[in-house]
Amino acid sequence: MLLQVAASPKGFGKSFTAGAFFGTVCRRGHACGLFEGTAEILGGGIAQVFADLPNGKITVCKHLLFIAGGVGLAPLRSVINYCRRYRDRYGRIDIVCGSKSRADLLDYDEIVNEWAKDDNVHVHLTVDRAEDGWDGHVGFVPAYVKELGFDNDRVAVLCGPPVMIKFTLNELLALGFSKEQVYTTLELRMKCGVGKCGRCNVGAKYVCKDGPVFRLDELETLPDEY
Ligand code: FES
C-alpha cells in the first residue's frame, strides 16, 4: 500500500486516531482517496505524529484554533479528535476549514454532524468560489481568518498548502499571536513520508524526519522554501 502511494500522488497526509493509521492521498490538487490501516504498516518510520501535540507541545493555553486548507485537514483531524476525546482539558475550540469546493471538503459529514455539535466547538467552513448548493462562506482561508478576527488567547495549529500557510501566518501575527503560539505542519511537502524519496527538504531539514510539525519561531530559522 505505501509503495503504491509514494509512487503516484501529489500529496500524502497521515494521521492517527486511537491507534488507527489514516492516509489521505491527493492527486492533481484534489483529495481522491482515504485509506485506513494500522500503525504497524509504517512501523517505526513515523518519527513524530501530530496527534501527540496536545500532550506535548501544546501546553501554553487551553483555547485552540485549528486552521486547515484542503487535504491539510487530514493531519489535523487526529489532533482535533484527540481534543474532542479529552474535551475537559481544553477550552473553546475553533476550527477553520477551507477547500476549493464543497466536494473537496474532507470529512464534511463528520465536521457537520459531529464536530460542530460538540460543546464549545465552533466550525467555520469556506470554499474558494461560490457554487450551487453552497450557502456558506466563500473566500480563501487567510482572508476568512482575518474576517473572523480570533482573539490571540489561544494556540493556533495550521496545515494546508504552503501559500495558505504563509498568508495565514501573516494574519495571525497581525491579530497579535506570538510566534510561540503558532504551530504548523509542512506535511504537504512530503511524498513518501518515511525518509526515502528525498523530496521534502527545507534547507538541511527533512520535513518527514525532522518535523513535520514546527512552531513558528522554529520555522523561521529555516530557509524560506516552505
Ligand atoms: S517525504 Fe520522502 S524523504 Fe521526506
Under DSSP, the state recorded for 31 is: E
Nearest CA among 120, 14, 129, 122 for reference residue 67: 122
Enumerate helices (H) and strands (E) in the chain, giving the number of each.
7, 12
Is 206 a pocket residue for ligand 1 (Cβ < 6 Å)?
Answer: yes
Q: Give the model confidence (pLDDT) of 93-112 as tens digits.
A: 999 999 999 999 988 999 99
Mean pLDDT to the nearest integer, 36-63: 39
Collapsed DSSP state (helix, strand, coil) of residue 220: coil
Bridge pairing between strands 182-185 and 213-215: antiparallel
| pLDDT at residue 68 in the model | 95
> Which grid coordinates are listed for 11?
500529496
pLDDT at 57 over 70: no
Average pLDDT on 164-185 reads: 92
Query: In the prediction, which pLDDT does 100 show?
Result: 94
Whether the predicted pLDDT of 52 surpasses 60: no
Architecture of domain 48-185: 3-Layer(aba) Sandwich (3.40)
**CB distance 24 to 9 below 8 Å:** no
In this prediction, residue 226 carries a pLDDT of 63
C-alpha 137 – ligand 1 centre gap (Å):
35
Q: How confident is the model over 102-155, as pLDDT tens digits?
A: 999 988 999 999 999 999 999 999 999 999 999 999 999 999 999 999 999 988
Q: Distance between CA atoms of 45 and 41, rounded to whole angstroms?
A: 9
Query: Hey, where are the domains in the chain?
Result: 48-185, 186-226
208 ligand 1 Cβ < 6 A = yes
Q: For residues 202 and 211, give the distance between their C-alpha atoms in angstroms, rounded to a whole number.
A: 10
Give the number of the atom of ligand 1 that is nearest the alpha carbon of residue 6: 2
